[in-house]
Each structure stands twice: as C-alpha cells, then as structure tokens.
C-alpha cells in the first residue's frame, strides 16, 4: 500500500488505517489492481460470505491448494476432517508439554538478563510444537523456519522485478517443502506414528482417501500460517509489555487476565493485517460496485480500530470486554490454528511475567519490520530484564 512507505509507518501503520477508514472506507487502488476495505462492518460482511467473496485465487495449482484457497463444498469436507486434529480437548492436552518447552527455552537464557524475544522464544516455541505435531525430526526445525519465512515474505517496493524475485523464492520454497513432505508421507504410509500426517493418511472423506497433494497442502499451510502468526503474536505481546510497563505487574497479580490480554494484543497489534478475497459475482458494498473477479483486500488491522465497534480503539485495554476483533478471520475460514496460537501465547506470557521483572526494550536497538504488507511483526525484539 503506497501510504505505508517508510520503516516508521511499517512499524506503526495504525494512524494511516484510521485516516483511510474515515476518509475512503472503500477504495480502488489501481497500482495494485484491487479494492481496499477498511471499515469493521464491511470487512465482517466480506469474511462471513464465502459465496459472494471467494477464497479461490485465480488458477490455483493443485499441488499448492489448501483449505485457505478452497470454497464449499470441498472446504467444508476438509475443514471437518482437520478439525478432528484441533479439538478443544486435543489442544488443552498439549498445555503441559508447551509449558515444558517454554520453560526449557527460558532456562537457557534467563541468566543473561537479556534476550531476543523473536529468536530465543517466539520462533522456536511454535516451530517445535508444529514440527512435533507433524512428526518432523527435531534436526529439521531450522529448515522449517527458513521455508516459513519465505512463504510469507513480501516486497518493499511494488516493482515487476521485485515481485518476480519474491515469486521465484516462494516457488523454490514450495518445491522444497513439497519434496520434503512427500518423503515424510512415504515413511508414514509404512510406519504410522501418533502425528497429524499419519492421521490425515488414515482419514477419508465420504469413503475417499485424501490425495497426496491435499495432505501436503495442509502440512504446508500449518507450517507457514501457524508458525508466523504465533511468532508475531508472542512478540507483539511482549512489545505491549515494554510499551506499557504497568501491565507487567497487572498480569502477575491477575493471571486470569492473560487470555483477555492476548485477545487485546490480537486486536491492537494483529499478526495478520489483511485478508484477500475475490468477488464471485458483481456485488455492492455500500455505494461501491465491485465486479466479478475483482480482488478485494479486507484490512483487519483497520477494522480492529474502528471507533464504531470499539470504544477508545487506539487505547490498549488489557481486560477489554467484549472484544470482537477479526484477527483470526471470521466464518468458515476462521483460523484453524487459533486455539493453539492462543494457548502458546498465553503460556509464553505467563512464563515471562512469572519469571522476569522490569522488562524493557533494549536501549539503542532498532526494529526491523517483517517484509510483508499482510503481516505485522518484527524480525527481532531485544529486551533486558531482571530475573525474579
């Protein structure tokens, strides 16, 4: 988006979203050939209506198709299947293990009285959890991080050369991931384990087994979407703690606030800023006519700050209720991994406020934003602290 054209704006774009929402709540951007939608009610309408706003992006290669790029009825069938792996009970049962991983990661660095939240905690925690869920060997976790970063990468400049370079890098990452998971699937066919790949291999939809492409597509989606979103959620939560230091003590004294605190982080600093759809037919949004096939970008980060939906939307309220943010989407495409992301973030923040005190952003450090318009996060977040 042309308005977000400096590092400072990329690190804090919300005043720009506010201005655009209040002046041009729906506008066509010729340079990007898409419609931008900024208001809460309009974004909510788009996300909840897959019949009018399709998730299918043009010609989708079967090898890279996922439930994100499917419409009903196939989406409904796939979603019902993979939901079995993410039931509330399954997620809740992971809590003790996630707590153990979190404390092991913190044990290794707490004596230094400093850490890079991204590198030391927010990246390895979700990667370890997802790698274990998929049945990936521990020695391959670093590869997962490289692939994950590439799949969500964007450009700083909207030029044909830059877009071509990013497209080439993503195609290479997808090819490598596809080859990797083909090997894992082959191993699980002959030697099933207690992991998601084995579960998907044994499952069927109306008597029909999932194809190799569908299994690989789901694994790639879980890797890219799950890792990046949770990493940014944890990092953004610590960013809030350093920007509003009184909240550290509030959460320590009121641990029951932590789930609500995480929801407010999701609203205030959403890991995913925008969600793309395609108009399935000619349609009106307000007074705006959108043609069939037009790209529509719903700016969740703007909707989450809409003053007609949230009181004092630019103020972080740790125990805000209600909090109907749209950071995990809405409707049939509501983020499959949301319960797991929430759980990991809650556990990480609980460990941080219980074990660390006087948490501060490291003086003299500079923040570097993640190179993706749709993602809100930073590449590193150095902090200093005292241990309890």
| pLDDT computed for residue 63 by the predictor | 44
Compute the chain's Rg from CA coordinates: 21
The DSSP-derived string for 21-85 is HHH-SEEEETTTTEEEE-SHHHHHHHHH-TTTEE---SS--GGG--GGG--TTHHHHHHHHHHGG
SS3 383: strand
| pLDDT computed for residue 70 by the predictor | 60
| Size (the chain), residues | 388
How far is the first Cα of the chain from the last one, in angstroms, to the nearest whole number?
44
| pLDDT computed for residue 351 by the predictor | 97
Nearest residue to 95 via CA among 351, 345, 344, 354 = 344
| pLDDT computed for residue 352 by the predictor | 97
CB proximity list for 128: less than 8 A, separation 6 or greater: 101, 138, 141
Question: Whole-prediction pTM value?
Answer: 0.87
pLDDT, tens digit (0-9, with 9 covering 90-100), for 21-58? 999 999 999 999 999 999 999 999 999 998 899 887 54
| pLDDT computed for residue 60 by the predictor | 38
| pLDDT computed for residue 80 by the predictor | 72
| pLDDT computed for residue 342 by the predictor | 95
| pLDDT computed for residue 153 by the predictor | 63
pLDDT, tens digit (0-9, with 9 covering 90-100), for 192-240? 988 888 888 887 777 778 888 888 888 887 777 677 889 999 999 999 9
Instruction: State the virtual CA torsion across 222, 225, 227, 229 in degrees, nearest 10.
Output: -140
SS3 358: strand
d(CA 209, CA 216): 13
Quick check: 297 and 35 in contact, CB under 8 A? yes
Rounded to the nearest 5°, which phi and psi values hold at 376?
-115, 110
Strand partners, 274: 299
Quick check: 124 and 373 in contact, CB under 8 A? no
Nearest residue to 50 via CA among 72, 74, 81 = 72
Stated as kind and residue range, the H or E segment containing 382 is strand 382-387
d(CA 239, CA 230): 14
The DSSP-derived string for 275-341 is EEEEESS-EEETTEEE-TT-EEEEEHHHHTT-TTTSSSTTS--TT-SS----TT--GGGS-TTHHHH
d(CA 12, CA 314): 12
Nearest residue to 385 via CA among 120, 85, 146 = 120
Quick check: 361 and 382 in contact, CB under 8 A? yes
d(CA 235, CA 253): 22
Q: Which CATH architecture has domain 7-23+33-306+316-383?
A: Orthogonal Bundle (1.10)
Both tokens assigned to 125: 């925690």
Categorise residue 328: left if φ over 0, alpha if ψ from -120 to 50, beta otherwise.
alpha
Quick check: 86 and 242 in contact, CB under 8 A? no
Residue ranges in the chain modelled with pLDDT below 50: 58-64
Both tokens assigned to 328: 């995990």
d(CA 385, CA 29): 45
| pLDDT computed for residue 106 by the predictor | 95
| pLDDT computed for residue 120 by the predictor | 93
| pLDDT computed for residue 58 by the predictor | 45
| pLDDT computed for residue 68 by the predictor | 58
34-37 and 53-54 as β-strands: parallel, antiparallel, unpaired?
A: unpaired
């Amino acid at each position: 988006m042309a308005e977000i054209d400096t590092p400072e704006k990329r690190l804090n774009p919300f005043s720009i979203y506010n201005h655009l929402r209040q002046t041009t709540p729906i506008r066509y951007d010729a340079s990007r050939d898409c419609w931008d939608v900024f208001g809460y009610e309009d974004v909510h309408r788009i996300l909840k209506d897959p019949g009018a706003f399709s998730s299918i992006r043009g010609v989708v290669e079967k090898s890279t198709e996922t439930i994100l790029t499917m419409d009903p009825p196939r989406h409904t069938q796939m979603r019902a299947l993979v939901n079995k792996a993410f039931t509330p009970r399954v997620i809740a049962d992971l809590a003790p293990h996630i707590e153990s991983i979190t404390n092991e990661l913190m044990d290794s660095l707490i004596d230094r009285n400093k850490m890079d939240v991204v590198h030391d905690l927010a990246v390895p925690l979700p990667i370890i959890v997802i790698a274990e869920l998929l049945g990936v060997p521990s020695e391959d976790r670093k590869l997962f991080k490289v692939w994950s970063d590439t799949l969500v990468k964007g450009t700083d400049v909207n030029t044909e050369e830059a877009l071509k370079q990013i497209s080439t890098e993503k195609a290479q990452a997808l090819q490598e991931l596809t080859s990797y998971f083909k090997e894992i699937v082959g191993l699980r066919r002959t030697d099933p384990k207690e992991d998601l790949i084995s579960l998907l291999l044994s499952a069927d939809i109306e008597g029909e087994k999932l194809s190799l492409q569908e299994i690989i597509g789901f694994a790639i989606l879980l890797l890219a979407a799950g890792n990046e979103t949770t990493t940014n959620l944890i990092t953004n939560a610590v960013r809030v703690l350093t920007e509003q230091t009184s909240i550290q003590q509030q959460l320590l004294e009121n641990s029951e606030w932590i789930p609500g605190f995480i929801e407010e982080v999701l609203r205030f600093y959403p890991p995913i800023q925008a969600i793309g759809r395609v108009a399935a037919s000619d349609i009106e949004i307000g007074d705006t006519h959108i043609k069939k096939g037009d790209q529509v970008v719903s700016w969740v980060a703007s909707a989450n700050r809409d003053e007609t939906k949230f009181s004092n939307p630019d103020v972080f309220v740790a125990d805000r209720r209600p909090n109907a943010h749209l950071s995990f989407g809405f409707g049939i495409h509501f983020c499959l991994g949301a319960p797991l992301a929430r759980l990991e973030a809650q556990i990480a923040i609980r460990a941080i406020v219980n074990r660390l005190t006087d948490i501060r952003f490291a003086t003299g450090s500079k923040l570097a934003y993640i190179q993706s318009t749709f993602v809100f996060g930073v590449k590193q977040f150095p902090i200093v602290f005292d241990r309890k």
